[in-house]
Amino acid sequence: MLGNISIRWKVLLAPAFVTLALIGIGTHSVYTQRLNQAAVNALILGPIQQAENVSGFAMTAWAAQTKLNRLTATAANETDQKKITSLAVETSKALAAVSEGLTVLDGLRSGEDKFSENVDRLKPLLTTYLKQAKNVIEMADSDLDLIYVGNSKDIVMYEGAAKEITEADFNAALKYAQEVIQPIIAAQKELVAKAGKKKREITLNIVPDEILAEAKNLAGDRFVPALLTHGKLAREAAVKAIQDEVGKKLVEKFGAEKVTEFVIKDAFYYIQKEAVRKLILESGKRLDGRTFDVVRPISSEVGILPRAHGSAIFSRGETQAVTLATLGTGDDTQEFDSYTGGETEKKFILHYNFPNFSVGETGRISGPGRREIGHGALAERSIESMLPKDYPYAVRVTSEIMESNGSTSMASVCGGTLALMDAGVPMIRPVAGISVGICAEYSGEKISKYQLLTDIIGWEDHYCDMDCKIAGTEKGITGFQLDLKLKGIPFALMVETVEKARIARMHILAEMAKTLAAPRTELSKYAPRIEIVRINPEKIGALIGPGGKNIKRLVEESGCEINIEDDGTVNIFSVSSEGMKIAKDAITGMTAEAEIGKIYRGKVVTVKEFGAFVEFLPGKDGLVHISELANFRVKNTEDIVKVGDDITVKCLGVDEKGRVRLSRKAAMEDRDQEMAPKP
């Protein structure tokens, strides 16, 4: 069921652009703008209750609005869930107070026109704050982040992530988004009517009609069989052979000045596009022989690289990805600058690499381009919501595309999921993704004929009209992106597309389950182990020591990596069970409290006339009074113990200053009682 929806829009000349979130949906930059407004609302509460006249209160409100703009500009990208939840609580309080303020304003109305005028000016402002405060509370629990673009009738583009929302909810969100952008489009049209300029005329460089006609005539009926050649490389070679032959004949007939390399390539682009679309729409055929709703053959393996924490190879037809999962410690978390506010680090990263050889080419290999970054981001957000909350490891997935013929980003989702499960990462549920395309014809302004294409290959993407990528689990959608070459796609047609994607996703998940149905019960033996110890936050300083002395010594002795959180959570990472034990025992000891009645084994560190000081916990000493050294009278402390001796002591008590009283005599008596024969 569709809940309340909060909307932020950015006005573009065309098409309209709107960001929305359903109740229970996503936590990204748009949400924090509402949260920051909660802080400003608090600034208004006092004046509401104390205003002696409406004019003075109005000035305070305008000043608060100025501060609001400053706050939202510096922290517009807050995505930290804990901060969002905390601010939502503050907003609940501000919400009640703003409601009270509106009541106060109504009460301030009088017969004086000046007061009434000011109340009328101020009340809409506070009403807006009231709505925004409600949005904050709802968005703290939201589960969809959707960026939507549409025109006056149809969908143009969307992108985002979700937390396993159903297809029905996803479609409802798209429908609502289309409705709420209409006022923006109306405003754009009004602006154009008032201040618009005549559109520029664009001159297209097109292939002359006589050259295009001759190219079609020379290619003859050989072109369709070439397109239907099995295999991507063989198909490309067959088409290239015809292109080279026809190109030479065109040059001979029309001359090299008219038939340039550009003209030949452009002519064959038109010919190939026309032929591919006719095969689909008129002959009901796809280039690789599949029917329209069939996913290409799928194969997968896991554990292909024995030394990696997790690895997989996923193939769907001629698209193949090798994926690697690596688990790291807290120090491996990616850190970055956040100039506009928001997160400064993230613990889950997916890197997507698309080398030249994946499409049979050579060339310079440099840093990732915007395509690689975009594909990686889509795959990352599709998987991220299925990682367990508060997972202590930093996780990196790398997708290396070995072969590309359609939707490598969705192959990265499938392969990345398998690699994570192979590494033993306790994913909530496996994730898979697929791309659905469309080949459409227009009659006037409406689509008159179309065919949806499940699991499109490269040439179907290139010569047809849509690449709609949707990823998710068996329960719902987690990631999505729509690229469209049409003017727009009707809502009813998008509903059909979403259902095609769901059916294909279920099939792919079933195929993946044949290889690995669930995460391995144990982490890779090469992944660092983690132990979590929770200590009193007041003990953090003692654990770290002056200048980090204690913690540095412990890291050196144990070989572990130790991360300490402000709430007293201590994460110990180690690839050695022996080192883990050393670190855990030391931390427990250094932060432990003396327990009255407990027996300890300690070392004598100082000898005095009145007794001995014993280190019974790491860094913690207690006094064994001379009268508690033995069950007889002791004249000299060193007659019983010396510095460096290991002795057993019992805790007798702790005074108000934290000084611990120990007894060797009591410990010996307890030991004798345990060893005494039972009647």
- Domain boundaries defined on the chain: 5-192, 209-281, 298-359+368-515, 529-591, 599-675
Neighbouring C-beta atoms of residue 468, cutoff 10 Å = 24
What's the confidence (pLDDT) of residue 22? 33
Cβ distance 396 to 309 under 8 Å? no
Per-residue buried b or exposed e for 645-656, using 16+ beta carbons within 10 Å of the residue's own CB: eebbbbbbeeee
Sheet with 394-403: list strands edge to edge. Answer: 298-302, 310-316, 319-328, 394-403, 348-353
Phi and psi of 611, rounded to 5°?
150, -160
Chain Cα centroid distance, residue 8: 21
Longest dimension (CA), the chain: 123
What's the confidence (pLDDT) of residue 83? 53
Angle at 141 between CA 137 and CA 145, to 5 degrees: 105
Angle at 447 between CA 156 and CA 433, to 5 degrees: 50
Q: Report residue 307 as tokens.
A: 């030394």
Q: What is the DSSP string of 269-324?
A: HHHHHHHHHHHHHTS---TTS--TTPPPPEEEEE--STTSSEEEEEEETTEEEEEE
What's the confidence (pLDDT) of residue 122? 55
Min mean pLDDT across 68-82, 339-353, 532-546 is at: 68-82
d(CA 466, CA 486): 8
Q: What is the CA radius of gyration of the chain?
A: 35
363 residue type, one letter: G
**Coil, helix or strand for 372?**
helix
Pair type for strands 394-403 and 348-353: parallel
d(CA 434, CA 452): 13
Going from the C-alpha of 282 to that of each of 220, 247, 277, 449, 485, the distances in angstroms are 18, 28, 8, 10, 21
SS (H, E, C) 425-471: CCCCCCCEEEEEEEEEEEECCEEEEEEEEECCCHHHHHHCCEEEEEE
CATH fold for the domain made of 298-359+368-515: Ribosomal Protein S5; domain 2 (3.30.230)
272 residue type, one letter: Q
What's the confidence (pLDDT) of residue 491? 96
Tell me the average pLDDT across 155-180: 95
429 residue type, one letter: R
Query: With 60 as the cut, is the pLDDT of residue 451 above it?
Result: yes
What's the confidence (pLDDT) of residue 299? 97
What's the confidence (pLDDT) of residue 59? 40
Helices 209-219 and 232-254: crossing angle, nearest 10°? 130
**Coil, helix or strand for 679?**
coil
Cβ distance 408 to 445 under 8 Å? no
Query: What is the percent of the chain where pLDDT is above 70?
Result: 78
Identify the band that residue 509 occupies on the pLDDT scale cut at 50, 70 and 90.
very high
Phi and psi of 598, rounded to 5°?
-90, 145
Phi and psi of 70, rounded to 5°?
-65, -40
Angle at 541 between CA 539 and CA 542, to 5 degrees: 65
Query: With 80 as the cut, is the pLDDT of residue 168 above it?
Result: yes
Tell me the average pLDDT across 240-267: 92
The enclosing H or E element of 328 equals: strand 319-328
**CATH match of 209-281 with 1.10.150:** no
Identify the band that residue 123 occupies on the pLDDT scale cut at 50, 70 and 90.
low
What's the confidence (pLDDT) of residue 530? 86
**Coil, helix or strand for 648?**
strand
Tell me the average pLDDT across 631-658: 89
Identify the band that residue 125 occupies on the pLDDT scale cut at 50, 70 and 90.
low
Query: With 70 as the cut, is the pLDDT of residue 24 above it?
Result: no
Q: Report residue 204 as tokens.
A: 């297209």
Query: With 50 as the cut, is the pLDDT of residue 29 above it?
Result: no
What's the confidence (pLDDT) of residue 337? 81
What's the confidence (pLDDT) of residue 81? 52
Pair type for strands 16-22 and 5-10: antiparallel
Mean pLDDT, rounded, of the chain: 82
Per-residue buried b or exposed e for 597-630, using 16+ beta carbons within 10 Å of the residue's own CB: eeebebebeebeeebbbbbbbbebbbbbbbebbe
Confirm whether pTM is higher than 0.85. no
Of 412, 399, 391, the closest CA to residue 348 belongs to 391
Q: pLDDT higher for 665 or 134? A: 665
What contacts 88, CB < 8 A, 6 or more positions away? Answer: 35, 136, 137, 139, 140
- Class of residue 308 by CB neighbours under 10 A (exposed 0-12, middle 13-18, buried 19+): buried
Query: With 80 as the cut, is the pLDDT of residue 237 above it?
Result: yes
Tell me the average pLDDT across 530-553: 86
Tell me the average pLDDT across 399-424: 96
SS (H, E, C) 609-635: CCEEEEEEECCEEEEEEHHHCCCCCCC
What's the confidence (pLDDT) of residue 106? 55
CATH fold for the domain made of 599-675: OB fold (Dihydrolipoamide Acetyltransferase, E2P) (2.40.50)
Query: With 50 as the cut, is the pLDDT of residue 53 above it?
Result: no
Highest mean pLDDT among 187-191, 571-575, 591-595: 187-191
Q: pLDDT higher for 142 or 165? A: 165
Query: With 70 as the cut, is the pLDDT of residue 323 above it?
Result: yes
Query: What is the percent of the chain where pLDDT is above 90?
Result: 52
Min mean pLDDT across 169-183, 338-352, 510-524, 637-651 is at: 338-352
The enclosing H or E element of 144 equals: strand 144-150
d(CA 278, CA 185): 35
Min mean pLDDT across 265-274, 332-341, 401-410, 506-515 is at: 332-341
Identify the band that residue 340 occupies on the pLDDT scale cut at 50, 70 and 90.
low
Cβ distance 399 to 412 under 8 Å? yes
d(CA 310, CA 420): 6
What's the confidence (pLDDT) of residue 538? 83
Min mean pLDDT across 196-210, 242-256, 290-304, 462-476 is at: 196-210
CATH of 529-591, one of 3.30.1370.10, 3.40.50.300, 1.10.760.10, 1.10.10.60: 3.30.1370.10
What's the confidence (pLDDT) of residue 127? 62
Identify the band that residue 444 occupies on the pLDDT scale cut at 50, 70 and 90.
confident
Identify the band that residue 38 occupies on the pLDDT scale cut at 50, 70 and 90.
very low
Min mean pLDDT across 11-25, 104-118, 298-312, 617-631 is at: 11-25
Query: With 90 as the cut, is the pLDDT of residue 508 above it?
Result: yes
**Coil, helix or strand for 351?**
strand
Q: pLDDT higher for 308 or 110? A: 308
What's the confidence (pLDDT) of residue 119? 52
Query: With 60 as the cut, is the pLDDT of residue 66 above it?
Result: no
Alpha helices for 320-438 (secondary structure H): 370-384, 408-423
Tell me the average pLDDT across 553-564: 88
